[in-house]
Amino acid sequence: MPELPEVEVVKKSLKKTIYDLTIKNIEISNKFLRYKINVKLMKKMINSKILSITRRSKYLFIDLNNDHTIMIHLGMTGKFIIVDANKNEYKTSFYYNLIDTKPAHNHLKFIFNKRITLIYNDVRKFGFIKIFKTKDIPFSPHLKNLGPEPLSKEFDFNYFKKNIKKRKLFLKDLLMNQKFVSGLGNIYVNEAIFLSKLSPKIIVKNISNKKIYTLVSNIKKVLAKAIKKGGSSIKNFNNTEGKKGNFQQYFNVYGRHGKSCTRSNCIGTIKRTVISNRSTFFCAICQK
């Protein structure tokens, strides 16, 4: 599933390609995604102009000049295809090879002025596209229980310390909890925990203040670097310009089961375990 950095990269790519354009037509070939598309309401977005494209957690928001907002979640296999004026196609993907993107999985098409088309393609149909009144977005059931953004000032030592008191759960479980911090996913949680030399199974109330500072800092550093590198391409992730992310070249633990620890002074081997049904990678020697 695309995590915060990948969704942020897609957001930036969309801003480059469709910001300030006007929707001239909308074609819906399949309204049955995770949630049924409201076709009648969607059609009312025709002739609206895009005012902004933003992100909250793993959600994308396209604000229109008719006081409505399009909310998008890519699910597991959701992707966008941009078709430019010369009919060149640029695709986003995360887990599926781009050659597997078939027209049969194109569910919705936004046709803009300047001969630009945005297509939503989703093999497994776990993603969704909803319309809200812009003023109602903060009260959406998808957002109301989300924790702070990990790159925000709100997510700091004090917030972390305050919210782990007496909590007897694994660190990995805490960071994957979207109510605690929103947007983190399996890849970047594994990487941040490794950089902090913490065990993914440490009970959070037992983490020292020094380690909390280190962990919060590393979470922000990992995400910032991933965004700068264009996200992680795993069977492929591309932005809407067709460019691959390359943060996967910097993985220290994720997907490296059986390989040597990347720390120069460590003789450990990367292990794999399962925590809450998610693969977890760590070095048993330098992560305590």
What are the tokens at 87?
């009919």
What b/e readout covers 234-244, taking b as 16+ CB neighbours within 10 angstroms?
A: bebbbbbbbbb
Other CB atoms within 10 Å distance of the CB of residue 224: 13
Q: How far apart are CA 250 and CA 247, in angstroms?
A: 5
- What gap in Å lies between CA 112 and CA 48, rounded to an integer? 10
Beta strands 59-64 and 68-73, pairing class: antiparallel
Instruction: Provide the 3-class DSSP secondary structure of residue 60.
Output: strand
3 belongs to the catalytic site:
yes
29 vs 33: CA distance, rounded Å: 11
Query: How far is 280 from 191, CA to CA, in rounded Å?
Result: 10
Cα separation, 229 vs 77, in Å, equals 21
- Among 3, 6, 8, 191, the one annotated catalytic: 3
Q: Residue 2 catalytic?
A: yes
241 assigned to active site:
no
Cα angle, residue 237 at apex, residues 83 and 99 outer, rounded to 5°: 60
Kindly give the residue spans of alpha helices, DSSP state H, lying in the chain: 4-18, 39-43, 157-162, 171-176, 186-195, 209-228
Q: Of the residues 55, 56, 58, 229, which is catalytic?
A: 58
What positions carry a catalytic annotation?
2-3, 58, 278
